[in-house]
């Protein structure tokens, strides 16, 4: 933790930014296909996730059905008029993490690699949050997860994503009144026939995943708070 805390100060300094003015993908119907998922309210930060970024996260999650893995959500905090929204354009795997049962911890090397990627591959983009998996555990933010979020992703527009590779379901969380709360969001993707078909397939699969989650049959064991 000591190492993480030291590097955190630097990460915060580098990525602390004001949201950029721009249009939501939903305001550009000629360019993007947009599809809502879950409950979205006007009071919250609107989350837009690129379909391909989420597919990348699912591949990562399913590559490790037993052990927790995680990574970072990359994109832009943005403003359309007075509405704050987060555009997640990419996801990148966290390297050199320690996975201890339910807890995933980032190491000094993890942050170093992230810094490297942010200055090269994702130049001019920002870390807009993080994701991690809960194999067979369901979708929630544990006390430890909240600790990580509050310490390393504490900017108002930084969000968390939890994926359960057992059910193939997932959930976004954002801060509402200082509490990490489940959040609906929008998928977006460039408007092509191929993407439209992939998005439809993805939503069909998510509906099945949601049913699996609700059936409770895929739980590895019942969760400790
Ligand atoms: Zn967790």
For residue 68, pLDDT over 90 is answered with: yes
**Does 40 fall in a domain?**
yes
The mean per-residue pLDDT over the stretch 196-207 comes to 96
Q: Predicted confidence band at 3 (pLDDT cuts at 50, 70, 90)?
A: very low
Task: Give distance in angstroms: CA of 163 to centre of ligand 1.
Answer: 9
**Does 199 fall in a domain?**
no
**Does 215 fall in a domain?**
no
Neighbours of ion ligand 1 (CB under 5 A): 142, 145
**Does 109 fall in a domain?**
yes
Task: Give distance in angstroms: CA of 99 to centre of ligand 1.
Answer: 10
Pairing of strands 70-80, 83-93: antiparallel
Q: What is the CATH number of the domain that holds 65?
A: 3.40.140.10
pLDDT tens, position by position, 153-194: 999 999 999 999 999 999 999 999 889 999 999 999 999 999
pLDDT of residue 18: 84
Task: Give distance in angstroms: CA of 192 to centre of ligand 1.
Answer: 35
pLDDT of residue 174: 96
Task: Give distance in angstroms: CA of 58 to centre of ligand 1.
Answer: 16
Q: Structure tokens of 213?
A: 């989650």
pLDDT of residue 160: 98
**Does 211 fall in a domain?**
no
For residue 99, pLDDT over 90 is answered with: no
**Which domain does 111 fall in, by range?**
2-191
> Does the predicted model carry a pTM greater than 0.85?
yes
For residue 20, pLDDT over 80 is answered with: yes
* Percentage of residues in the chain having pLDDT higher than 90: 76
DSSP state of 26: G
For residue 12, pLDDT over 70 is answered with: no
Task: Give distance in angstroms: CA of 30 to centre of ligand 1.
Answer: 38
Task: Give distance in angstroms: CA of 129 to centre of ligand 1.
Answer: 14
Task: Give distance in angstroms: CA of 132 to centre of ligand 1.
Answer: 6
Instruction: Determine the Cα–Cα distance for residues 143 and 224; give it in Å rounded to an integer.
Output: 10
Structural domain total, the chain: 1
- First and final CA of the chain: distance in angstroms? 21
Task: Give distance in angstroms: CA of 139 to centre of ligand 1.
Answer: 8
Q: Predicted confidence band at 41 (pLDDT cuts at 50, 70, 90)?
A: confident
The DSSP secondary structure of 93-158, one letter per residue, reads EPPS-EEETTEEE--HHHHHHHHHHHHTTTTT-EEEEEEEE-TTT-S---HHHHHHHHHHS-STT-
Cα 68 versus chain centre, distance: 15
The mean per-residue pLDDT over the stretch 116-136 comes to 94
H/E element holding 216?
A: none
The mean per-residue pLDDT over the stretch 4-13 comes to 46
**Does 216 fall in a domain?**
no
pLDDT of residue 102: 67
Instruction: Determine the Cα–Cα distance for residues 120 and 130; give it in Å rounded to an integer.
Output: 19
> 146 CB contacts (<8 Å, ≥6 apart)?
180
Instruction: Determine the Cα–Cα distance for residues 17 and 91; give it in Å rounded to an integer.
Output: 19
pLDDT of residue 16: 58
**Does 225 fall in a domain?**
no
Task: Give distance in angstroms: CA of 44 to centre of ligand 1.
Answer: 23
């Amino acid at each position: 933790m000591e190492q993480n805390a030291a590097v955190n100060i630097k990460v915060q300094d580098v990525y602390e930014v004001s949201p950029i003015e721009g249009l939501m993908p939903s305001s550009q119907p000629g360019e993007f296909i947009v599809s809502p998922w879950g409950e979205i309210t006007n009071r919250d930060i609107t989350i837009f996730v690129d379909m391909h970024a989420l597919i990348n996260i699912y591949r990562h999650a399913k590559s490790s059905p037993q052990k927790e893995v995680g990574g970072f959500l990359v994109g832009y905090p943005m403003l359309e008029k007075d509405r704050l929204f987060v555009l997640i354009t990419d996801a990148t795997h966290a390297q050199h993490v320690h996975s201890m049962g339910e807890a995933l911890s980032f190491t000094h090397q993890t942050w170093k690699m992230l810094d490297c990627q942010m200055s090269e591959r994702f130049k001019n983009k920002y870390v807009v949050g993080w994701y991690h998996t809960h194999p067979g555990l369901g979708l929630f933010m544990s006390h430890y997860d909240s600790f990580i979020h509050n310490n390393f992703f504490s900017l108002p527009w930084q969000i968390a994503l939890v994926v359960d590779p057992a059910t193939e379901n997932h959930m976004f969380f954002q801060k509402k009144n200082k509490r990490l709360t489940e959040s609906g969001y929008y998928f977006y993707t460039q408007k092509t026939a191929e993407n439209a078909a992939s998005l439809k397939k993805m939503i069909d699969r998510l509906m099945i995943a949601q049913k699996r989650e609700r059936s409770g049959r895929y739980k590895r064991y019942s969760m400790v708070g």
